[in-house]
A and B are shown apart, each in its own frame.
Chain A
Amino acid sequence: MNARLSKLLHFVAGDAQADRVVPPTGYTARLTVFAAASMAFLAVFALALSLATGRLADRWGEALAKSSTIRISAPADQMDAQVLAVTEVLATTPGVKEARPLSQDEQRALLEPWFGPDLPLDQLPIPRLVEVIEDEEGIDAEGLKARLAGEAPGAVLDDHARWREPLVRAANRLRQLGFVAIVLIAALAAVVITLAASAALSANEQVIRVLRLVGARDNYIARAFVRRYTLRALSGAIVGTLLGSLAVFLLPPAGDQASFLTGLGFKGWQWLWPLAIPPLAALVAFLATGQAAKTVLQEKR
């Protein structure tokens, strides 16, 4: 382990003299830095998307799982009796933290977007709604349905499972797509850096010929290129990550009723995640350039 660490430190510290054997300029250098910065910038957003959709899935899942609604349809003269029966059932149901019938005003507010503000609720056969807030353990939905069927035949329990599941499934799929995007970005970075390194190696054919002439091993030549491209990718990725993180930070803040878009970003310790991007980019560059150098040097035998 110590030997590996020492090797890594030696690689990072480098050999100033050895570094100079490769010409310092060239468009591939700028290309690599730009590509690494761009990829890191995109990776920050893909990461933010993944984490945000993860939070969204959790939030939807938790919020909807902890509440349910009982809808009571009954003739007007039996409605109050059925509501009373339902609240009595709920009062003795394990897992119910709080239960209350929605008031006329609350039901009117719910229907207002469709029917306007002056809806005469008392004259219409509108079902009454009872909101049920569950405790940590939750209710036994099937057991409650059976009890309601006996005590209040007009009451139907809606535990939100029917439309909660597709929402959570969609959010989880989005989270997975975010991670797939990160993997694709890493792969694309590897491709771009490989192409840049291969182009640099080909453009420096004369340098390679001279180095071989004076007794340089292929490892030495490869290391000079690999180190340079790894450090370029690292520096580009640091810039891209900083800019990406800043852009995420400057997104409109998420309120309590955060919608999908305003919720995009990092929360708390999640801000540490982008820190993994520059070392990851450097690792990708290290492996990609190493492979490119090995291939090109073998071809130039």
Chain B
Amino acid sequence: MIELEQVSYGYGAGTLLSEISLKLAPGSFHFLTGPSGAGKTTLMKLCYGELIASKGRVTLFERDARQLTRDDVAQVRRRIGVVHQDCQFLDHLDVAENVALPLTVSGRSLSDESELEDLLAWVGLSRQRAAKPPELSGGERQRAALARAVIMSPDVILADEPTGNVDWDMSLRLLKLLVELNRMGKTILIATHDMNLIRSAKAQVQARVLRIANKTVQHAGADL
């Protein structure tokens, strides 16, 4: 589904990631951890075609990322739901419009308007559907971002520090939503430096932990 082979990436003259190999199999659940600045976000961006590897090969749905045109990347993004740490919304649209944005840009529509309501209810944002993103709390923004990431029913969900700005209860709630998605067959990759969150996942799902250290990915080995 998503595969990195001997991938390196650097900003300017420095190398941030060096000869990383990684494979996200369908239905798998991975955590990506490591200290701040280690390259978690960069690795995520390589996984959804935002960045192109300096060396090595990134394969997204059986296609070499380097060969993808911008339209191809757009097509790939419809199969990958991304939850950013800073969420990234269109502030002039309300929550419901932001959540439905992937459908809007792909020219699709929900078969039933109640599906959007169900999705908003699933993430607990029914009452905030008409609010603008700046009016939301950190946790609400993260849940809205998650709803937007899944509305196209993507094959893969990449979440970059989804619990970075929320309290512990909200972290658990977001984790639960991601676990539910994994049970539906979605492939999940969560970047986090919150080890407590990883431990909490242990009881709910079989996840592998990848740790970025010394510019490369180390498989933590034991399943949680």
Q: Which residues of A contact B (CB under 8 A)?
A: 17-18, 20-21, 23-24, 206-207, 209-220, 297, 301
- Residues in A with CB closer than 8 Å to B105 are 18, 21, 211, 214-217, 220
In contact, B77 and A214 (Cβ under 8 angstroms): yes
Shortest A301–chain B CB gap in Å is 7
> Assuming the A-B contacts A17-B104, A210-B89, are A215 and B71 also in contact, with contact meaning beta carbons closer than 8 angstroms in the complex?
no
Q: Which residues of B contact A (CB under 8 A)?
A: 70-71, 73-75, 77-78, 82, 84, 88-90, 92-93, 97, 101-102, 104-106, 148, 152
- Residues in A with CB closer than 8 Å to B104 are 17-18, 21
In contact, A212 and B90 (Cβ under 8 angstroms): no
Say which residue of B75, B82, B97 sits within 8 Å of A213 (CB atoms). Answer: B82
In contact, A213 and B88 (Cβ under 8 angstroms): yes
- Residues in A with CB closer than 8 Å to B88 are 206, 209-210, 213
In contact, A215 and B93 (Cβ under 8 angstroms): no
Closest B residue to A210 by CB, please name it: B88
Shortest B127–chain A CB gap in Å is 22
- Residues in B with CB closer than 8 Å to A209 are 88
Closest B residue to A301 by CB, please name it: B70
In contact, B70 and A210 (Cβ under 8 angstroms): no
In contact, A210 and B101 (Cβ under 8 angstroms): yes
| 18 sampled A-B residue pairs with Cβ under 8 A | A18-B105, A20-B92, A20-B93, A21-B90, A206-B88, A207-B90, A213-B84, A213-B88, A214-B77, A214-B101, A214-B102, A214-B148, A215-B106, A217-B74, A218-B70, A218-B71, A218-B74, A220-B105
In contact, B77 and A210 (Cβ under 8 angstroms): no
Q: Among A23, A213, A219, find the residue whose CB has the most chain B CB atoms closer than 10 A.
A: A213
Shortest B184–chain A CB gap in Å is 20
Shortest B98–chain A CB gap in Å is 9
